[in-house]
Amino acid sequence: MIAIIIQFTPQAASGFGNDFTCPIGKQGACLGYGDKVCSSMAKCVSNDAVCFDSYTCNYKGFTCKSKFDDLATEYDSLVDRYNRLLRAQRDLESCVSYASSLEEAQTCY
């Protein structure tokens, strides 16, 4: 988020186009349409930029939002598949362990 604080002093409010004063150590600037103001400690980004929480980057660099979303969807799909296979495996183990004969165990498959 970029915050811009504009303070109107009596000198500045007396008439536009005249000189204005800045506090000591500050420098005035004229901005055109679409110009942005960023402090030296901030990073300016475009209006359509997407912000991420901390730790969305790895040692290889930044992960794009679309790629991140795709990976999250694929991960969720794999977790669902794993859970279904785990349930099926447990059902199969239970069926085989309660079978009283080879023929009955073969019907579990």
pLDDT in tens, 31-83: 788 777 777 777 777 777 766 666 556 556 665 666 677 888 999 999 999 99
Q: What's this model's pTM, rounded to 2 decimal places?
A: 0.40
The DSSP output letter for 61 is B
In this structure, the chain runs to a length of 109
Q: Give me the pLDDT at residue 16, please.
A: 55
pLDDT of residue 13 exceeding 60, the answer is no
Q: Give me the pLDDT at residue 56, please.
A: 59
- Return d(Cα 39, Cα 87) in angstroms, integer: 56
Which residue's entry shows tokens 């859970």?
Answer: 83
pLDDT of residue 11 exceeding 80, the answer is no
Q: Give me the pLDDT at residue 75, please.
A: 93
Q: Give me the pLDDT at residue 82, please.
A: 97
